[in-house]
Copies of this chain bind each other. A is one copy, B any other.
Amino acid sequence: MTESPRSPPGVEAASLDALVAQTLGAATAAELSTVLPPLVRDVADIDWRLNQVLGSTYAQLTEAARYACSTGGKRVRPLLMAAAHRALGAESTGPIHSLAAAFQLIHTATLVHDDVIDHSETRRGRPSMPRTFGMPLAIVTGDYLFVRAFELAADYPKSIILRCGEACADLVEGEVIQEASRFDLSSGREHYFRVVERKTAAIIAAALASVAEFCEKSAVVINALEMYGKALGIAFQIRDDLLDVYGDPDLLGKPLFTDLREGNPTLLSLAAYSQLDARHQSEFESLFQLRRKRTKHLLRLKELTDLTDAATTVAAEATTWTDRAVRSLDPIPEGPYRQLLERLAHGAAERRF
């Protein structure tokens, strides 16, 4: 594997500190202040590993791959994996750094390809990969991230490599079935959850289950973390649906109404649609089905959503998944790291960015 002899550009520990605190909320960050410093170091080390493995002999490829990762957002996955590893008793998370980097790379690869598919202009407040490097380089950089992820995973037992692979296959399946339901509000809730389980939840569940499996924990513990990851992922996605309409675009680093524009039936749009009276329902559907929506169409869709309880019921549903995530943690030893995992589950359903 080509590795740069010098230290790759990592994220400053100080800025990660702020990022983790922001993810958790100030109150929780203060409450858990004793356990945060090692976790922030873990995340910084995982970031370092990730940047290191992206070194290619071709500067342009290295640059593109690192750019894709530098818009790496909240580092939720590495944080979850490090916290889970410590919750299971690990003194040092070093042995799972490559694994965490692999999962983060897979996540990033799919975001890059998503941005090509959706013609997205921005990602986390910066120009998207296809916008910055062009479509061809964005596609092959996504491939490159996948490849480096599997090289990192090759350090682990076959069962863990296969968990990685199955999560990737789930991701792809999620893309395919989401594509099949574009602009189609009749696809319904069941279809929505099929998409979310595959596109968002499967990879988080696999990442956490891999950590437990790596620690040679019992099936009960592996399943507990898998269920936790899945429920947290679903809560996270439902919150995403809400933020797409009610979020602050500056905090989100991307424009609002992306799902509405792209015709992705979210839990919010499905709830609004089902709660509207017949006349508004048909207006909502016509607007939702428009392949090219103007701002006035998007604002009208929001107005129609506001006529219903959808935002409230959907927020409650996110909280239900958070509760499931927290309950799943029962077999995990109590302590500050489990507490952190609980707070992260709440954060998934409450976050503003």
Could you tell me which A residues sit within 8 Å of B by CB distance? 1-2, 56-58, 60-61, 64, 109-110, 113, 116-117, 135-137, 139-144, 146-148, 150-151, 153-155, 158, 161-162, 165-166, 168-169, 171-173, 175-177, 179-180
Contacts and interface: CB of A to CB of B under 8 A. Distances in A.
Given A117-B136, A117-B139, A169-B144, A158 B154 contact: yes
A168 B179 CA distance: 27
A173 B117 CA distance: 22
A61 B110 CA distance: 16
A84 to B, nearest CB: 23
Contact of A172 (B143, B151, B165, B169): B143
Scoring A116, A117, A176 by chain B CB atoms within 10 A of each residue's CB, the highest score goes to A176
B61 A136 contact: no
A166 B140 CA distance: 14
A139 B166 contact: no
A168 B147 contact: yes
Contact of A173 (B61, B109, B151): B61
Scoring A57, A148, A172 by chain B CB atoms within 10 A of each residue's CB, the highest score goes to A172
Scoring A58, A64, A166 by chain B CB atoms within 10 A of each residue's CB, the highest score goes to A58
Interface of A is mostly: helix
Contacts of A171: 143
A179 to B, nearest CB: 5
Contacts of A143: 109-110, 113, 142-143, 146, 168, 171-172
Contacts of A179: 136-137, 140
Given A57-B173, A135-B117, A176-B60, A165 B147 contact: yes
A83 B281 CA distance: 64
A143 B140 CA distance: 11
A140 B172 contact: yes
A135 B154 CA distance: 30
A268 to B, nearest CB: 23
B113 A140 contact: yes
A56 B147 contact: no
B144 A172 contact: yes
A162 B177 CA distance: 32
Contacts of A137: 176, 179
Contacts of A147: 146, 165, 168-169, 172
A154 B102 CA distance: 15
Given A150-B161, A154-B158, A162-B151, A140 B175 contact: yes
Contacts of A64: 176
A176 B139 contact: no
Sorted from nearest, which 6 A-B pairs have the closest CB atoms? A151-B165, A147-B168, A154-B161, A117-B136, A150-B150, A144-B172
A188 to B, nearest CB: 17
Given A113-B143, A165-B151, A136 B175 contact: yes
A321 to B, nearest CB: 23
A19 B140 CA distance: 31
Given A162-B151, A169-B144, A177 B58 contact: yes
A171 B169 CA distance: 22
A176 B142 contact: no
Contacts of A177: 58
